[in-house]
Structure 1
Amino acid sequence: MAELSTTARPYAKAAFEHALASSALAKWSEMLVTAAAVSQQDAVKALLSSPSITRDKQAQAFIDVCGDTLDAGGQNFIRILSENKRLSLLPMISEQFEALKAVQEKSVDVELTTAFALDSESEQRLADVLSKKLERQVKVSSREDRSLMGGVIVRAGDLVIDGSVRGRLAKLAESLHS
């Protein structure tokens, strides 16, 4: 898996740099998300793995499926990926592009897992605190997990803050066993 991620990185970086230079980060993000979704369809996977179809025809068929979502730059990007047999990397390219975009925009997606649903005021207070702590704009999504018993688990990229009752009990049990 790491090898595919490494292979996708230069394509994601090139797409990001082009999008940044042309002030089109949002458009490129949309194009890459659509292309990544298209690349995961069974019919498209079969088309891409068919040895009887030329790379040019694969690229054109892929572009046709994406429709008006791809502008000229996006279509060229798809052709380059097709020439290099890299269309299957589109989900990773899109993911890495989004990570680069988030760093550029100083934003981070944060997932809050709570035992009970948060009201919008509490969610906003947590978002404000996290925004100050992480020094980024925070986009919050939340979900419930009754097994937590209470508290909250915060996931922001690689950072995980476990402030749940279940997590605290687990730490207490671990310290008692040591």
Structure 2
Amino acid sequence: MLSGAVTNRYTQGLFKFAEQQQAVDKVDESLKLLADVLGAHPKLQDILNHPLIDADSKANAITNVFGEALDPLVARFVKVLLNRGRGGYIAAIYERFHALAQAAKGELTVEVQSAMPLAEEQLQEIEKHLSASLNKKVRASLHVDPDLIAGCRIRVGDRVIDATIRGALAQFSQKLVSGATKEGTL
């Protein structure tokens, strides 16, 4: 299980150093590349997590896979993580770093789940309304989930705005169940 405190400590250190070097965007892009590849190739992540493979061999594997594609700061950071047995934290660190980088620019990415694909205009309208209410430049990431039946669910950090038929049915069902347990009801 990954520790949020460990993730935050490493991310904060990397972010502060990247700010000093004026390399936040480059580091963000490099971490995204690294996290995406590790997510797409679980065997590479397994190598980084394997307790019997030494840190130098793991670092060499990263160098062989990514070569010059990784920003030198990220390559050094990954070596530090691997030397400390924290290779499993890379994806979590990227997510946190990306959120910090966006916040520093006054941006926010929200996840929009929809029962059906949305037109670009609809997505832009959602971004416009959320930008106005949150006072940030909002970018929407769309995911289609037919199980929602109709409507959409918007996730902003830890908050969820559920405007789906599935959500409405679940709320209605909960009200029926809780109402039926009161005295004098069926």
Task: Give the TM-score range, shorter chain.
Answer: 0.7 to 0.9
- Equivalent position SS for 1:117: coil
The TM-score normalised by the length of structure 1 is 0.81
Shift in CA distance, 21/143, structure 1 to aligned 2, threshold 3 Å? same
Counterpart of 1:77? 77
Question: How many residues in Structure 1 have an aligned counterpart in Structure 2?
Answer: 176
- Structure 1: where are the runs of 5+ without partners? none
Shift in CA distance, 133/49, structure 1 to aligned 2, threshold 3 Å? same
- Structure 2: where are the runs of 5+ without partners? 180-186
- Equivalent position SS for 2:65: helix
The TM-score normalised by the length of structure 2 is 0.78
**Which letter does structure 2 place at the counterpart of 1:21?**
Q
> Identity, % of aligned pairs?
30
1:104 aligns with 2:73: no
Counterpart of 2:137? 137
**Which letter does structure 2 place at the counterpart of 1:122?**
Q
Counterpart of 1:31? 30
1:19 aligns with 2:18: yes
Counterpart of 1:126? 126
Please, which moves more after superposition, 140-149 or 12-21?
Answer: 140-149
- Equivalent position SS for 1:163: strand
Counterpart of 2:46? 45
Shift in CA distance, 93/145, structure 1 to aligned 2, threshold 3 Å? closer
Shift in CA distance, 122/2, structure 1 to aligned 2, threshold 3 Å? same
Q: Contact 2:108–2:137 at 8 Å: present in 1 too? A: yes
Shift in CA distance, 125/90, structure 1 to aligned 2, threshold 3 Å? same
Using the TM superposition, give the Cα deviation of residue 20 of structure 1 relative to its aligned residue in structure 2, in angstroms. 1.6
- Equivalent position SS for 2:117: coil
Give the distance between the partners of 2:137 and 2:54, measured in 1 at CA. 45
Using the TM superposition, give the Cα deviation of residue 128 of structure 1 relative to its aligned residue in structure 2, in angstroms. 0.4
Q: Contact 1:108–1:136 at 8 Å: present in 2 too? A: yes
Q: Contact 1:63–1:78 at 8 Å: present in 2 too? A: no
